[in-house]
Amino acid sequence: MILWHRDTDRFEDGQWLKQRVYPDCCHLSPDGQHFIYFALDAHWDSETKGSYTGISRPPYFTALALFPVGDTWSGGGAFFVDNHHVFVDGDPDIIGRAAGLSRVELGKPDPKGCTTDIRLRSGLPAPLSRQATKLLLEDPVPTSRSAMRYQLRHASAHLGAAYHCDGGKLYRSDGSGQAALIRDFTDMAFEPIRAPYDWRGETGATEGEPSWHPLDGAGA
C-alpha cells in the first residue's frame, strides 16, 4: 500500500500484502486516517473464513478491525462523511483495536424516529453529521447494502483532476492532452514491512495472540 498526498505529490511507501485485494471494495476515510479493504487469503478453515474485510491505518494493511466474510461477493465497506461511522460487510470484528470507529447497519427508515435508519450495532440511531444524513436521503435512497456501499464510495470519489496509470507509472493530465509523470513505480520490489502500530511481539505476543513474523508480509 502507498499513501499518496495529492496536495504535494508526496508518497509514503508502506506494507505489502500477499493476498488478493479487491480495489472496488476498498475505501479511504475522508481524513485519510483509516482504510477499509476486502482481501482473499483462501484460508477457509481459519478465523478469517478465507476472505475478510479489514480496517487499517494507511499505508499499512495490518488490521485494527477484521470482519470474517467467507466468500468473494459480499465483502468490503465504506466510511461515512464524519470519519467515525463505518459501514462494512462481514461477521463481528475479531480484533477490536479500531478505537473511535463505530459500525453501522442499514434498516428500514422510521419517519418518527430515525429517518435514515442507519443504526449502531446496539440498535440506536447513528449520530450522523448533517452532511452524511443529507447524502443518504438524496435520490436514489439506498435500499440495500450494496447500494449503500456504492453511494458512499462514489460520494467521495472525485479527485479534482484526471489521473491514469500505464506500465506501472502514474500520470496527471493537465486538460490539454498532455500527461505529466508523477511517479514511476516499476523499480519497487517486495519488502517485509511491519506496521508501527502492530501490537504483536517479535518472538511471542500476549497469550492467545500470534507473534509477528517478517514473512507474513502483511498484517491480517
* Cα–Cα distance, 11 to 174 (Å, whole number): 20
At 152, give phi and psi (nearest 5°).
Answer: -70, -40
**53 DSSP β-pair partners:** 38, 67
Q: Which grid coordinates are listed for 153?
A: 464510495
* Cα–Cα distance, 32 to 29 (Å, whole number): 5
* Cα–Cα distance, 187 to 169 (Å, whole number): 10
Peptide bond into 210 cis (omega under 30): no
Strand, coil or helix: 123? coil
CA distances from residue 138 to 103, 104, 108, 141, 142 in whole angstroms, order as listed: 22, 19, 15, 6, 9
pLDDT of residue 102: 86
Q: Are 76 and 54 in contact (CB under 8 A)?
A: no
Q: Among positive and negative, which fits the CA dihedral 31, 180, 154, 62?
A: negative
Domain boundaries, the chain: 2-155
**What string of pLDDT tens digits covers the 220 residues of the chain?**
999 998 999 999 999 998 999 998 899 998 999 999 999 999 999 999 999 999 999 999 999 999 999 999 888 888 765 788 888 888 999 999 999 998 877 655 554 455 455 656 565 666 666 666 665 555 455 555 555 555 555 555 555 568 889 999 999 987 777 889 999 999 999 998 999 999 887 655 555 565 555 445 554 4
Which residue type does 113 have? Answer: G
DSSP code of 82?
T
Other beta carbons within 10 Å of 109: 16
DSSP code of 110?
-
pLDDT of residue 108: 53
